[in-house]
Chains A and B, each alone.
Chain A
Amino acid sequence: MSDHTLPHHDDKSGHLHVDIKAIDASVRLPVIILFGNAIHWLVIASLLSLIVSVKLIAPGFLGGVSFLTYGRLAPMARDLMLYGWASQAALGTGIWLMARLCGRPLGGEHSGGFGGELLRTLVISATVLWNLAVLLGTLAILAGYSSGVEWLEYPSWASAMLLLSFLLIGIWAVLLFDRRGTGRAVVAQWYLVAAFCWFPWVYGTANLLLVWKPIQASAQGPIQSWYCGSLLALWLLPVALASAYALLPRLLGSHLNRRNLATLSFWMLLLLGGWNGMDRLIGGPVPAWMTSAGVVAGVLFLIPVFMISMNLLGMDRKEAIVAGSISARFLLMGLYALICVGSIGALASLPSVSGAVRFTAFTEAKTQLWILGAISLPLFAVLYESFPQLLGRDCWSPVLTGRHYILTLVGIAMLISLLLLGGLFTGIALADPTVSFLNITSYSYPFHLMECVAQLLLLIAALILGANITRALAGDYLLNKQPRK
């Protein structure tokens, strides 16, 4: 088996003459642009997150300047994580995996009605447009033009740009699937198709009803929660899972045992994913049935999560192989993070727990574990796996890669446990009305202090990754000999 074959599914048709080199060459530029920019936003977002946590222990830090107040930096950091980093890396992942899995080069003669070069130029322009939208949206929040809707703070024109850019890339991915040269579709492809269909739907609906032409505010709460839940569970998570399904079997030298389980969990995830955000409104100003739906969906969500993990973690694997593959390690950790997210989510959906912790750091812990763990870790795996193939050489520094891995995991583990613990403490204290609110705020101080340390670790990890990728891309010019294997 050549090093460059992707995860080949049981190809029944058997006439597969896929020119991997041509496919990689065709997607090289867009994927590198997407991942390269995603990482620079990740670095900036990590820096902002650090500043935001410092502000909770020293409110005067960088104080007195309008655009550096907590209320502007916190949404900036979150949106950069979501759109600058995660969504952008997910787009890169989507393009690379889709082209590979479909056995078709981007803009090749098989890509349908579109002319080759023209299509490629279009996709590359769309990646540039995406980054422009993120940059302008971020600056708009900074300058005080935020829409004030959580996770949708970008002003209308910036979100419209983002959506347009997505459509230019996404339509291609779906068309490519339609004209695939590889017969039977694999699970990873379903996830990608689903994700690429959902983002425009979710992002378009939510922006339309909340930002572009806001609906009467009494209806906004559920739509907002639906958006937050769907963005994670129906756009970013499916891409992360697609990469696990596509890469893990080959990396482990193993194969999926139960295809049925994969099919069933795919549809369950789809069904429940949209309801998953309703735990943000348990007990809130919505009809009682929505509260119940939130509770039920939060608990049931565990089922597809467990099925998927059983499916993927149930593969035979040799520890030596896992230890030797950074991508496999990131993917496995991503799955563990997903199990934790599912469990924390189910717990936090129970009315009595939700009543105590919903507005505390506990909820933040869940969101962070979603983004940093279940979603980002698999995206790192794709990055580490795809670049050597796209560049045609072993481009990563083993030292930097190892440090990035360790620091990321330690940073995430530390941050999440602090947020969970801090959230539990405040939740319990809040339930007792004789303890004054300000008193409770002062209990949180040690947690906030340690969170700064965790954020610092994550920033260092992001910087190391930045150095690693800079080195990888500059490798041709700076190093005359290839790095050791």
Chain B
Amino acid sequence: MTFEPKIVGFLCNWCSYTGADLAGTARMKYPPNVRVIRVMCSGRVDPTFVLKALESGADGVLICGCHPGDCHYQEGNYKAMRRYLLLERLLADFGIEPERVKLEWVSASEGERYAQVVKEFTEQIRELGPFVSPMKAMASK
């Protein structure tokens, strides 16, 4: 069986979720691999959510928020960016490919961009293969 990546997507309510909605209403074709969870702001995405998603069987995590300067709560996406950069470093230290997590800015009018982001990220995860958690990797040694 070919590997179909399971991706959890955290999309902010004000921009990216609407952007994804637009991709849908415009009937754009893109891979169905992202399971979308709507959050009020990308700044709401606790790094715990990302680790929890991976630990629960996701192969990748996509976080989308408003473009810099456009966050509905002014600062949320900057916080998301800083957490993401630090999380990348933490993941690497855990021996996990940081490429399994991605942060992208998608505005409410960027349905096409959303479809493109999903397409690229799905391919990226497909290439990386299924995520095996550190505990599982140790058990299957």
Whether A and B are associated in the same complex: the answer reads: no
Tell me the A residues contacting B by CB distance below 8 Å: none
Tell me the B residues contacting A by CB distance below 8 Å: none
